[in-house]
């Protein structure tokens, strides 16, 4: 009699454990969008795209002062503080970095909106196009657009000061494919009009 009770309790325990574990897995797969993500409009995407393209246009034309002047520094310790323009040292460092990388062109790899203070834009900057048997030379920039009181401010992700990327490293490639698919669909819609 005691063996039957132990067997029934064991089966019941396994059934409860499997239901609990499968329920946890489903929650992770169906992670809902944040309220901020749901409120994002096409105008937000256009404005962030414009800011990033403007930054690179300045950099590609050697106007490093204007490119650096577009960027802000956010306070990673408080999401409520307004992003501030770069200080003189940060401006000088950025201008030196840009002048050492003669950027020829750029491409936005993806834009990921998550929260007003936690967004990510990954861009590939071409320093030298491929020629003969030499592959292209390129580098990657990660921007952090912040929606502060309805106005977008463009920051760079600064891991040295506590910034963390929004998109996990393992998901960056799939995020890029998703963004490229979305852009193709938008371009097809424009062509149909």
C-alpha to C-alpha distance for 62 and 19, rounded to whole angstroms: 60
Range with lowest mean pLDDT among 12-21, 43-52, 70-79, 110-119: 12-21
Q: How confident is the model at residue 7 (pLDDT cuts 50, 70, 90)?
A: low
Q: What is the CATH number of domain 33-166?
A: 3.10.450
Mean pLDDT of 99-128: 93
Give 65-119 as a DSSP string: HHHHHTEEE--TT-TTSPPEEPPHHHHHHHHHHHHHS---EEEEEEEEEEETTEE
User: Is the predicted pLDDT of residue 71 greater than 70, yes or no?
Assistant: yes
User: Is the predicted pLDDT of residue 5 greater than 90, yes or no?
Assistant: no
Beta bridge partner(s), residue 6: none
| pLDDT for the residue numbered 6 | 53
| Domain extent listing, the chain | 33-166
Q: How confident is the model at residue 28 (pLDDT cuts 50, 70, 90)?
A: very low
| pLDDT for the residue numbered 191 | 73
Q: Residue written as tokens 């909106």?
A: 113
Mean pLDDT of 121-131: 93
Q: Going edge to edge, which strands form the sheet with 118-128?
A: 84-85, 71-73, 151-156, 137-148, 118-128, 105-115
**List of residues 6+ apart from 40 with CB closer than 8 A:** 113
Torsion angle of the four alpha carbons 175, 180, 184, 185, in this order, in degrees rounded to the nearest 10: 0
Phi, psi of 45 (to 5 degrees): -60, -45
Higher pLDDT, 107 or 74: 107
User: Is the predicted pLDDT of residue 155 greater than 90, yes or no?
Assistant: yes
C-alpha to C-alpha distance for 169 and 122, rounded to whole angstroms: 12
Range with lowest mean pLDDT among 79-93, 137-151, 158-172: 158-172
Question: Tokens representing 165?
Answer: 């990327």
User: Is the predicted pLDDT of residue 90 greater than 50, yes or no?
Assistant: yes
User: Is the predicted pLDDT of residue 125 greater than 60, yes or no?
Assistant: yes
* Size of the chain in residues: 193
Helices in the chain by DSSP H: which ranges?
2-29, 35-39, 42-60, 64-69, 88-100, 172-192
Mean pLDDT of the chain: 81
């Amino acid at each position: 009699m005691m063996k039957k009770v132990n067997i029934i309790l064991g089966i019941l325990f396994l059934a409860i454990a499997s239901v609990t574990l499968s329920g946890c897995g489903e929650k992770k797969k169906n992670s809902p969008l944040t309220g901020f993500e749901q409120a994002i409009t096409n105008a937000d995407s256009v404005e962030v795209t414009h800011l990033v393209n403007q930054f690179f246009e300045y950099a590609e034309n050697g106007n490093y002062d204007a490119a650096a002047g577009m960027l802000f520094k956010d306070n990673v310790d408080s999401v409520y503080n307004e992003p501030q323009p770069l200080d003189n040292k940060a401006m000088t460092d950025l201008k030196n970095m840009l002048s050492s990388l003669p950027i020829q062109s750029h491409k936005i790899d993806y834009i990921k909106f998550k929260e007003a203070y936690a967004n990510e834009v990954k861009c590939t900057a071409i320093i030298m196009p491929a020629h003969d048997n030499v592959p292209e030379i390129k580098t990657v920039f990660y921007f952090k657009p912040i929606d502060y009181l309805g106005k977008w401010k463009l920051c760079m992700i600064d891991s040295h000061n506590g910034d963390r990327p929004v998109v996990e490293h393992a998901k960056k490639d799939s995020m890029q494919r998703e963004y490229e698919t979305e852009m193709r669909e938008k371009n097809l819609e424009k062509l149909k009009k």
